[in-house]
Amino acid sequence: MTELIIIGGGLAGSEAAWQAAERGLAVRLYEMRPQMTTGAHETSDLAELVCSNSFGSNLPDRASGVLKNELRRLGSLLLDCAESSALPAGAALAVDRVGFARRVTERIESHPRIRIIREEVAEIPDGPVIVASGPLTSDRLSQSIAALNGEGHLFFFDAIAPIVDARTINMDVAFRASRYSAGQQEEGDYINCPFDRMQYEAFVSALETAERIELRSFEEAIHSGVKAGTFFEGCLPVEVIAQRGSESLAYGPMRPVGLRGRDGKRPHAVVQLRQDNLAGDLYNLVGFQTNLKFSEQTRVFRMIPGLEHAEFVRYGQMHRNTFIASPTVLLSSLQHKTRDNLFFAGQITGVEGYMGNVATGLLAGWNAARLLTGLSPLTLPPTTMLGALCHYVTHADLRDFQPMKANFGILPPLLSAEKLNKRDRARANAGRALRDLETFLNEIENR
């Protein structure tokens, strides 16, 4: 039988390799580490966790707990290894990261049908392939993916907005209001920093000329022709918007519509701040993702009326996050729309979170095995958490397409759930997900 090629031995690729091999396929798993580094991974182990050691909640009525229950039912290797490497962490599943990655590596290495090849794959090969190369996909492979999908269908960066200490906002200048809630301004959810025209013009000009952080190694990819999709259109850094035209911000993240200042007039522009933590002492600057140097953020953002003395508890930053425009190019079975033996899995599909990435790896490996044994690839019910994640990333509106992790908001509404409180709704969603998965598995077994 034809060998299945899997690119990337991270969370998704390792799970995919195991699932396909367990279903009888011969698998060639390519992992570029340790020859080539991603800049975030530190070892040559498969399934290395690059940051947190937590896989999220284990509670059965939390979104992440529902996903784990589905993965248990579907026989996930990585969840099994995580549970064998668990550390005390209350209701969460946290792991000894070294022990976890070693366990996964040993299980994959000792599988008789999996061959691990420590090489970078620079181009998407012919034949059955799963691309699971993650948010730090190598530049050459990124270019090959961009060539397949068309420029503008591969995103490179995510940007985050700064957060300020609420106690340092000057509320003599800033005011509370939600849009269109004039008259009850004290009740508004947002803190609004109003600009008159002169303040706005000075601010925009400072933004345009402020120093930015060099994007270093990523620039190579950008300069070599995959420029169009570099940023999410919906998540552009403010300094990039500012350069598009002097009023671009006033019609974008700084639009004042629906707001009246203390003088009862609409300001020329507004920066809105939204509560960022439960305690209400941190506020983020809405839509103000940025790549300015930290010292420049302090200088320029203190020009915002009301933030003259603001303390920044987190600066805006950009980080690399390569992912494809799944709503345009992928089916819910994780197959490519123009090539049915090409699958994508993991963070590169726009699914976020360790468990979600393991889960898409599981489905891609399962579906690749089905395809190569003459069966149709599966689309899971959208009422299951995994089905909902795959549905979301392949059906979202591309203009607002953001990486998405497991949450109840992506499940279809429950019938007659109006009377349920939040916790009961979560339980009902969790129960429905597992029931529907069971029914689905019975159906495909009997087909």
Ligand X SMILES: Cc1cc2nc3c(=O)[nH]c(=O)nc-3n(C[C@H](O)[C@H](O)[C@H](O)COP(=O)(O)OP(=O)(O)OC[C@H]3O[C@@H](n4cnc5c(N)ncnc54)[C@H](O)[C@@H]3O)c2cc1C
Binding residues vs ligand X (CB under 6 A): 7-13, 30-33, 38, 40-41, 50-52, 120-121, 132-138, 141, 346-348, 353-354, 357
- Torsion, Cα of 14, 20, 21, 25 (10° steps): -140
Query: CB-wise, 250 or 348, nearer to ligand X?
Result: 348
Residue 193 structure tokens: 């920093």
Write down the least CB distance from residue 277 to ligand X, Å: 18
Residue 73 structure tokens: 């039912």
Coil/strand/helix, residue 304? coil
Write down the least CB distance from residue 71 to ligand X, Å: 14
Query: CB-wise, 267 or 403, nearer to ligand X?
Result: 403
Write down the least CB distance from residue 141 to ligand X, Å: 4
Query: CB-wise, 321 or 429, nearer to ligand X?
Result: 321
Q: What is the CA radius of gyration of the chain?
A: 24
Residue 252 and residue 238 in contact, taking contact as beta carbons nearer than 8 Å: no
DSSP 235-260: G--HHHHHHT-TTTTTTTTT--TT--
Query: CB-wise, 190 or 354, nearer to ligand X?
Result: 354
Residue 436 and residue 384 in contact, taking contact as beta carbons nearer than 8 Å: yes
CB-based closest residue to ligand X: 10
Write down the least CB distance from residue 235 to ligand X, Å: 16
Query: CB-wise, 163 or 351, nearer to ligand X?
Result: 351
C-alpha distances in Å from residue 415, one per residue of 85, 411, 421, 435: 39, 12, 14, 15
Write down the least CB distance from residue 137 to ligand X, Å: 5
Residue 121 structure tokens: 């794959």
CB half-sphere exposure, 358, CA atoms < 13 A: 27
Write down the least CB distance from residue 202 to ligand X, Å: 35
Matching residue, tokens 């909902």: 388
C-alpha distances in Å from residue 182, one per residue of 164, 176, 236, 268: 25, 10, 29, 16
Tell me the sheet residues that pair with 144.
none
Query: CB-wise, 97 or 391, nearer to ligand X?
Result: 97
Write down the least CB distance from residue 301 to ligand X, Å: 24
Write down the least CB distance from residue 7 to ligand X, Å: 5
Query: CB-wise, 354 or 366, nearer to ligand X?
Result: 354
Instruction: Report the distance separating Cα 111 and Cα 131, nearest Å.
Output: 20
Matching residue, tokens 């609420």: 166
Query: CB-wise, 33 or 432, nearer to ligand X?
Result: 33
